[in-house]
Amino acid sequence: MYTRAAGWALRGLGLGGVLWLSLVPAPAPAQQRDLWSAFNEDGLKAYNAGRYVEAETHLVAALAEAEKSAKDEPRLATSLNNLAELYRTQGRYGEAAPLFQRALSIRERLLGPKHAQVATVLNNLALVYYAQARYGEAEPLHKRALEIWEKRYGPQHPQVAASVNNLGELYRAQGKYVLAEQHSRRALAIWEKAHGPNHPNVALALNNLGMTFVKQESYFQAEPLYQRSLVIAEKALGPAHPQVASTLNNLALVYDHQGRDGEAERLYARALAIDQRALGSNHPDVGAILQNYAQLLRKLQRGDEANVLETRAALIRQSHPETALPPEGREGVKGR
């Protein structure tokens, strides 16, 4: 079964909703908003609110404005990164990767290879590779981003925690559970100290630590972590946020394994409704929840209902061939 968290792996970011803000604001002059600034800022607001269709409209327009001026490459790099991060959040990895690669090339040329804005793109591109199970390509990018941020901000900075979290997600996907747990606990400690115990990033770290225990079938250790993560995320982000859906799915998975079928079904149904509304019916995360829910229904001898969900999940897999989502459900990471 799939334990979602994914996008989670930190939305790339830096704390925008999960971490840091991979979607970066304008590197710009402090005058009244020009057209590019307006499109970019409106796109970020919509993105952070989970209104991804609206965000795409604004961010595509911002990129078009940035492309008009060959001299304003910093804005172009920002627009490329932000639109790519939106596509990554939506599971559109094939569209995201070339935009991140182009943004990385521009920032490395303009700012040098060790600049913090270079680290942001390195992190985000690594998340795309992670989602595609290209772990050998993702790991050196994550390590390079972490090195840049630690040197710039010190080892206890929240942005360092975002990078640590993402590297931990990668280790879990590779079955390196000791390293994964160490990284999740480090990220959790940094975020709790920096933001307090009720911040969305604390919820994220709790969720991801829970996933490491689930992978080792230690459900009794995972359950309280997911429960605390869910309470924080619902309060901080609202009950209809994709991060809430991630934890609902993961907690349902624990209940499923524990034979608490009624509780599991209720949570799967709620997670599915949230993600379909927020991410669209064809998102890979929707496919993962459908597959998990179908497996529960099949266990309950409700084969006809399970068949419907499995058919939908299969169609989603077919439309996202670049994702690491095997027939039995995707294993993995966000991040959004």
3-class SS of residue 21? coil
The distance of Cα 244 from the centroid of its chain, to the nearest Å, equals 12
- What's residue 322's pLDDT? 66
Q: Which string of DSSP letters, residue by residue, matches 268-325? A: HHHHHHHHHHHH-TT-HHHHHHHHHHHHHHHHTT-HHHHHHHHHHHHHHHHH-TTS--
* Euclidean distance between CA atoms 334 and 108, whole angstroms: 24
Query: Domain 35-319 belongs to what topology?
Result: 1.25.40
Residue 162 to residue 190: CA distance in whole angstroms: 9
Res 187: pLDDT: 97
Give the pLDDT score at 323.
64
Task: Find tokens 């640590």 and name the residue.
Answer: 164
Tens place of pLDDT per residue across the chain (336 aa): 444 433 333 222 222 223 333 445 545 454 446 899 999 999 999 998 878 899 999 999 999 999 998 778 999 999 999 999 999 988 899 999 999 999 999 999 999 999 999 999 999 999 999 999 999 999 999 999 999 999 999 999 999 999 999 999 999 999 999 999 999 999 999 999 999 999 999 999 999 999 999 999 999 999 999 999 999 999 999 999 999 999 999 999 999 999 999 999 999 999 999 999 988 999 989 999 999 999 999 999 999 999 999 999 999 988 887 665 433 332 322 333
Longest dimension (CA), the chain: 63
What pLDDT does residue 90 have? 87
Write down the pLDDT at residue 33.
Answer: 65
Start-end of H helices in 112-199: 116-131, 135-153, 158-173, 177-195
Q: Report d(CA 81, CA 49) in Å as an integer.
A: 18
At 215 the pLDDT is 94
Q: Which amino acid is at 168?
A: G
Q: What is the pLDDT of residue 300?
A: 96
CA distances from 262 to 145, 281, 295 (A): 43, 24, 14
Domain ranges of the chain: 35-319
Res 50: pLDDT: 78
DSSP code of residue 244: H
Query: Which long-range contacts link 176-184 to residues 24+ away (Cβ below 8 Å)?
Result: 177/212, 177/215, 177/216, 180/212, 181/209, 181/212, 184/208, 184/209, 184/212
Of how many residues is the chain composed? 336
